[in-house]
Structure 1
Amino acid sequence: MENYDKMRVVGRGAYGTVHLCCRLSDKKLVIIKQIPVEQMTKEERQAALNEVKVLAMLHHINIIEYYENFLEDKALMIVMEYAQGGTLMDYLQSRNGNLLEEEEILNFFAQMVLSLQHVHSKQILHRDLKTQNILLDKKKEIVKIGDFGISKVLSSKSKAYTVVGTPCYISPELCEGKPYNQKSDIWALGCVLYELTSLKRAFEAANLPALILKIMRGTFSPISDQYSEELRSLILTMLHLDPARRPHINQIMACPIVVNALMNLHTDTGKVACVRVHRPLSSMPGSRGRTSARGMGSARDALSGKPRALSSVLAWGGGLSLPTRLPIPSQDTQVVQVATGRTQRAAVTKHGRLFVWEPVGVGGETALPGSVDSAHPTLVPRYLEGQAAVTIQHVACGDLFTACLTDRGILMTYGSGANGCLGHGNMNDVTQAKIVEALLGYEVVQVSCGASHVLAVTNEHEVFAWGRGDNGRLGLGNQDCMASPQPVAVSEDIRPCSVYCGVDCSVILTLDGTLLCCGNNRNNKLGLDEINADGALERLVEEVNVFAPLASAPINTLQVQGVAVGTSHAALLTVEGKCYTFGANQFGQLGYEKEPHDRRPGQVKALNSSKISAIACGDTFTVAVTDDGEIFSWGKSARGRLGRVDDEPGVPKKVAITGEDPFNISSLSCSHGNTLVAIRPVQRSGSPME
């Protein structure tokens, strides 16, 4: 809310609170609807998501304009246009029984028809048209339809069944529980038109059964004869009990009295082009946030050897030949998870804050991604602002984009939108974290980013994939790019719990410890070749477009605890803490010797004396962490990939960490040539520091 100033509460509804706010950038008054989605059920979240989705689809001068949404204070904030003239219901009540002139009625009605025609053209039902949801501008001349909270997007020729809407405006078919379509909106619009002519509702009763009876009979008071026969006839046809006999919205527009009103409307006000510019979302600004002076001072204290911080984050690779402590925002920052991409380094703290490290060049200016001006760039930690009351529990990095997940299962992404990898329905870049709206109705429990695609898994074991699709990496049965999350089809008896993305492939881990893989199987890096227990290759698989189980012995019989996927190889961790690797071995990244054309997976026997607790794969190297806090690396050593001076290829060797002994390892992440490790010092007594 740092971009807005709250002025007052202007309404409260079943789903949240409505605030009148001032947008600080241009002092424009806006409405912010605050919907506490974090505490809602899946169905309630879906309803909140629906309003955002529908508003974003509609662009019309007679529909309340949607500006943006963001997450704050455990709630979804929807920023919309403010109509200063209040509701049409308020206006009619202010008439004190004095009927409106027919010209004014038709002026209002023509604008409603235009807006509803736009809504229906998008295959959307409003489902709650009423005078309380029709707003006016300051001069009370321009009509704007709002409140699409229970609207429904229909597929072609489909009908809806759910009984929703305000009782006084629901159609007879709704009362009978029959399927309905756009004709129910026509009924509600007829009720509104009747109200314009009578200053009272067409159907009212002391209780709901009596109201339903009136609606089913189509019983309402006569319309004043001061209005033309054409207007009264139009109302009667719109309130016909048989929906098939009600006019379509285009037929209403063709009525002579409505055509005249439409012509007068355009003559009086001019035809306004419905073009809108979307402002960037402000739920979480990008990585140019400020770091407090106190926080930076504490980081320097930790680096200088003064009282130790609760956590340290070590980095190597990308020109850092040995493990190097990165500065953290403050001495009391406890890092619980780290993630690295081609250009990004990010961390999540124990208290749910997300921060990133930015490279700083000469003069303090942030270096551009890919800059090679300095072999050893200075990295500065910066909290992402705008996280008030939002608890981040997980972060994942792709190439030039980042995904972060809240403790309530809401996913947000920002960065480069190439290939649709942000999941926002387009390929636009986003500088500030934006909610992946298509998943707002689900509780996401884990997310993984590849170079240009993403997989997410929900608490109900559903998997969604989006982004770049070649090589079949999305597991959707094709190679198409997807700009919004798509459900991945898996058998009903399979219960995914974790997902992992490689550069051009994807992996699902199930609750029973089995793996499903899709994408590029070059060098059998996904273990999809059919290799029997004797090591004989029965079928070679280069690529699959849907998720398939492991087929290579011996890994196809193992119970898996975790997996890591590099550019040309992969590693899996068994529940017993053993490490197996497979794929290309040109640089010794598998941790053992084998013939160049041998596609069989093998165990990293050099680590048999240790129990492995975590593994990660970079482009041409592998890193493993043991239960007792030791770190081993092997593979290509160029540009500090292994974090050790000894660069003997293909041999797992310990990475020496100085000044932090003993310690626990909180998180490990590798990507391309970079490695990040979060460690937590342990007191000499052996109990973790608090």
Structure 2
Amino acid sequence: SMCEGGELFTWGQNTHGQLGVGSQTTLTSKPQLVERLKGIPLAQIAAGGAHSTIVSLSGAVYSWGKNSFGQLGLGDTKDRDCPTYVGALEHWKTVFISCGADHTAVLSKEGLVCTFGAGGFGQLGHNSTRNELLPRVVAELWGARVSHVACGRWEVPVTCLLRQYTLVYVSSLDKFYFFGSGDEGQLEDKREPKQLIPLPINSPENTGKSCQSNDHCRCIQSVFVSSNPICYNFHFVNVFMYFTQNSYPNGIATLEDKEVDAWISNSKCPNSIKKNIRLIFSSEACINGSFLDKRDKHFKTSKEVSGLDMSEVERFYMKISKNQTVYQEV
């Protein structure tokens, strides 16, 4: 769970270090603070079967937990019990990440997709069933400018077999692409049980509507059908409802110009404003997130580059100096 103040709390099973709080315990029902991420302005978190990842507002990716198939993207198969920086994605400009049971997919600002981890079902989209220990660009999607990505899995009833797949959406083409483990009758168009490269899913016929915005979920029900008495449709519907309802990460609390204008226009600085000021300025993560360079330079954040726009910091303090009550509160 990510708080507005930028703190990340985890709880549950920790057999592979997937909580990111060390390996002292294998199970906890009490939320634990992930200390390693303090001060980092988080944009999004994602959890897989037994691994976890986060993306910061500056596009940095950290991963931890189970790594049997390389799903952490760190170049090996060693589990991590604390968040570890994924150096291979340093210049990727990551804006979104999704975790499957044992694989991970990352979306860049330019619409490129890279995947890593388990590839046994073709869910990495590299025309093979090999595992990938490092992030690898899905070549078949090059130039498509993907806007959404989601990793998924389901268990086949009775057999308890676990199937894994990846779905992407290209808004400019209004098309969904699927790769990974399908099932006979899963899709309208018959295809191999293991789809090794991204292929478009047949669009609904004669709907008279584009699969844009809220029409996605209605369209999906006619895209996915199953001849099997036990229907798997709901898995795909859930994924695409996720696309339409949760496409954009809800980040931490950061400063907005309109909000600051409201502060300085109020001469009394009521408790609501004081509460907001305390929320942001008591958190390193919120402060860092508030003053990130907006000209893509924040994607270059490193030990050598702060990623902060110090001119914005100066402008902010000049602005609030017009209201001494607010200035003193900050």
TM-score of the aligned structures, taking structure 2 as reference length: 0.60
Matching residue of 1:574: 170
Matching residue of 2:98: 500
Identify which of 206, 210, 215 aligns with 1:626: 215
Which amino acid counterpart does residue 93 of structure 2 have in structure 1? R
Matching residue of 1:565: 151
Give 1:634 deviation, angstroms: 2.7
Give 1:491 deviation, angstroms: 5.1
Which amino acid counterpart does residue 450 of structure 1 have in structure 2? G
Query: CA separation in 1, counterparts of 2:104 and 2:195?
Result: 23
Aligned positions, number = 225
SS at match of 1:455: strand
Query: CA separation in 1, counterparts of 2:12 and 2:90?
Result: 35
Give 1:515 deviation, angstroms: 0.8
Matching residue of 2:125: 527
CA change 1:561–1:441 in 2 (3 A) is same
SS at match of 2:88: coil
Give 1:598 deviation, angstroms: 6.1
Give 1:520 deviation, angstroms: 1.3
Superposed CA deviations along residues 458-486 of structure 1, whole A, max 9, x for unmatched, are 01111000000011010011101111100
Identity %: 23
Identify which of 122, 134, 142 aligns with 1:546: 134
Give 1:596 deviation, angstroms: 4.9
Given that 2:179 and 2:195 are in contact with CA atoms closer than 8 Å, whether structure 1 keeps it comes out as: no
Give 1:493 deviation, angstroms: 3.3
CA change 1:458–1:545 in 2 (3 A) is same
Superposed CA deviations along residues 154-211 of structure 1, whole A, max 9, x for unmatched, are xxxxxxxxxxxxxxxxxxxxxxxxxxxxxxxxxxxxxxxxxxxxxxxxxxxxxxxxxx
Is there any run of 5+ residues in structure 2 with no aligned partner, and where?
Answer: 154-163, 238-243, 248-330
CA change 1:497–1:408 in 2 (3 A) is farther
Query: CA separation in 1, counterparts of 2:21 and 2:195?
Result: 42
Query: CA separation in 2, counterparts of 1:503 and 1:628?
Result: 24
Matching residue of 2:233: 642
Query: CA separation in 1, counterparts of 2:89 and 2:11?
Result: 32
SS at match of 1:432: strand
SS at match of 2:121: helix
Give 1:602 deviation, angstroms: 1.3
Matching residue of 1:324: none
Identify which of 21, 25, 35 aligns with 1:437: 35
Give 1:519 deviation, angstroms: 0.7
Query: CA separation in 2, counterparts of 1:423 and 1:491?
Result: 20
Given that 2:20 and 2:34 are in contact with CA atoms closer than 8 Å, whether structure 1 keeps it comes out as: yes
Given that 1:585 and 1:596 are in contact with CA atoms closer than 8 Å, whether structure 2 keeps it comes out as: yes
Which amino acid counterpart does residue 444 of structure 1 have in structure 2? L
Query: CA separation in 1, counterparts of 2:225 and 2:79?
Result: 32
Matches within 5 A, 1:408-557: 408-426=5-23, 427-490=25-88, 492-529=90-127, 540=128, 542-551=130-139, 553=140, 555-557=141-143
Given that 2:180 and 2:195 are in contact with CA atoms closer than 8 Å, whether structure 1 keeps it comes out as: no
Given that 1:569 and 1:589 are in contact with CA atoms closer than 8 Å, whether structure 2 keeps it comes out as: no
Matches within 5 A, 1:15-34: none
Query: CA separation in 2, counterparts of 1:607 and 1:470?
Result: 39
Give 1:590 deviation, angstroms: 4.8
SS at match of 2:69: helix
Give 1:641 deviation, angstroms: 4.0
Matching residue of 1:354: none
Matches within 5 A, 1:24-173: none
Matches within 5 A, 1:166-245: none
Over the aligned positions, Cα root-mean-square deviation in angstroms equals 2.9
Give 1:556 deviation, angstroms: 2.9
SS at match of 1:557: coil
Give 1:667 deviation, angstroms: 4.9
Query: CA separation in 2, counterparts of 1:595 and 1:451?
Result: 25
Query: CA separation in 2, counterparts of 1:586 and 1:628?
Result: 21
Which amino acid counterpart does residue 570 of structure 1 have in structure 2? T
TM-score of the aligned structures, taking structure 1 as reference length: 0.30
Matching residue of 1:586: 183
SS at match of 1:513: coil
CA change 1:408–1:613 in 2 (3 A) is farther
Superposed CA deviations along residues 319-368 of structure 1, whole A, max 9, x for unmatched, are xxxxxxxxxxxxxxxxxxxxxxxxxxxxxxxxxxxxxxxxxxxxxxxxxx
Query: CA separation in 1, counterparts of 2:113 and 2:216?
Result: 23
Matching residue of 2:199: 602
Superposed CA deviations along residues 126-150 of structure 1, whole A, max 9, x for unmatched, are xxxxxxxxxxxxxxxxxxxxxxxxx
Given that 2:184 and 2:190 are in contact with CA atoms closer than 8 Å, whether structure 1 keeps it comes out as: no
Q: Which has the greater radius of gyration? A: 1
Give 1:629 deviation, angstroms: 5.7
Matching residue of 1:310: none
Query: CA separation in 2, counterparts of 1:549 and 1:643?
Result: 29
Given that 1:587 and 1:635 are in contact with CA atoms closer than 8 Å, whether structure 2 keeps it comes out as: no
Matches within 5 A, 1:258-269: none
Query: CA separation in 2, counterparts of 1:590 and 1:542?
Result: 24
Which amino acid counterpart does residue 170 of structure 2 have in structure 1? T
Is there any run of 5+ residues in structure 1 with no aligned partner, and where?
Answer: 1-403, 530-539, 615-624, 645-651, 654-664, 669-690
